[in-house]
Amino acid sequence: MPTLPTFEISALIELKGPQNLRNWNHFLRVELDAEDLTEYVFGPASAVPEPDKSTKPEEHRTWRLARAKAMRILYSTLRREDVIRRLERYGWDVQNTNPANVYQLVWNVFGPDAPSW
């Protein structure tokens, strides 16, 4: 019997700025929930503590890969040049691998208490 194809449906939308932040936030959460990665982005930076690499190497690897996947999902919504430029003006550090920090920066830059767009 042939195997039926599987389909991945992504709810992600691109962040355009403050005008679609609420929808972006909602659909980002939907996608992260579907992947069981919500706490890596929406939790505080310490929501998912890093396991000790020397005593729990497999747990550390799982944590690292989950965090990278959460970051990839988040970054896939941050592609507009004007959004990127604004995030960079407010200190976006592309070397920072913590998705919770990137999410918080987006919220600080584009959220209701953010500086004028």
23 or 2, higher pLDDT: 23
pTM value? 0.85
Whether residue 7 is predicted with pLDDT greater than 70 in this model: the reply is no
Token representation of residue 100: 């919770």
Mean pLDDT of 43-64: 92
Q: What is the mean pLDDT of residues 5-29?
A: 87
Q: Which of 37, 49, 47 has the alpha carbon at shortest distance from 74? A: 37
* pLDDT tens-digit map of 70-88: 999 999 999 999 999 999 9
**97-106 confidence digits (pLDDT tens):** 999 999 999 9
